[in-house]
């Protein structure tokens, strides 16, 4: 079943923020947390600094009405800088790979800062872009298990 969630970026304090949100909404994480140390190295990836290994790579928390917030820590060593505009992303989880491609093609028309749809190590077919209106979109398709 397709769903929409909100993805939040933090500059090193995602764990603290999500512990706060967990108390506010009285819910539990919907999946295990991934830390940066859990990311398998790949070509062109610079090594993580020791103080970055425990930063959050991914966390997910249901809030209200079936909506889930997700988050990650941005890393200075990767050239990340948190600004208003890159701190929030709308995450779309369509029901098919074809719909994921259609959404990506439509949203990336005239867009910038795009990562094309590709199979990722966490088991999703994933892509992202900053649309021509300055809204960040992430598309995640995961085949039914």
Burial, 97: exposed, middle or buried (Cβ in 10 Å; 0-12, 13-18, 19+)? middle
Tens of pLDDT, residue by residue over 118-132, are 999 889 999 999 888
For the chain, the structural domain boundaries read 3-141
For the chain, what's the residue count?
A: 145
pLDDT tens, 58-111? 999 998 888 999 999 988 877 778 776 678 889 988 999 999 999 999 989 999
The highest-level CATH class for domain 3-141 is alpha beta
Q: Is the pTM of this model over 0.75?
A: no
Phi, psi for 13 (deg, rounded to 5): -120, 30
């Amino acid at each position: 079943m397709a769903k929409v969630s909100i993805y939040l970026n933090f500059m090193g304090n995602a764990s603290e923020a999500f512990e706060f949100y967990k108390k506010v909404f009285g819910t539990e994480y919907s999946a295990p947390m991934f830390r940066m140390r859990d990311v398998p190295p790949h070509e062109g990836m610079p090594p993580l600094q020791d103080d970055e290994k425990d930063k959050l790579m991914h966390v997910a928390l249901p809030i209200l009405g079936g909506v889930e917030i997700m988050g990650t820590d941005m890393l200075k060593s990767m050239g990340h800088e948190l600004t208003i505009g890159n701190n929030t992303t709308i995450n779309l989880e369509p029901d098919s790979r074809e719909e994921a491609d259609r959404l990506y093609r439509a949203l990336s028309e005239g867009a910038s800062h795009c990562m094309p749809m590709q199979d990722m190590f966490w088991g999703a077919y994933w892509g992202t872009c900053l649309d021509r209106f300055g809204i960040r979109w992430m598309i995640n398709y995961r085949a039914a298990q």
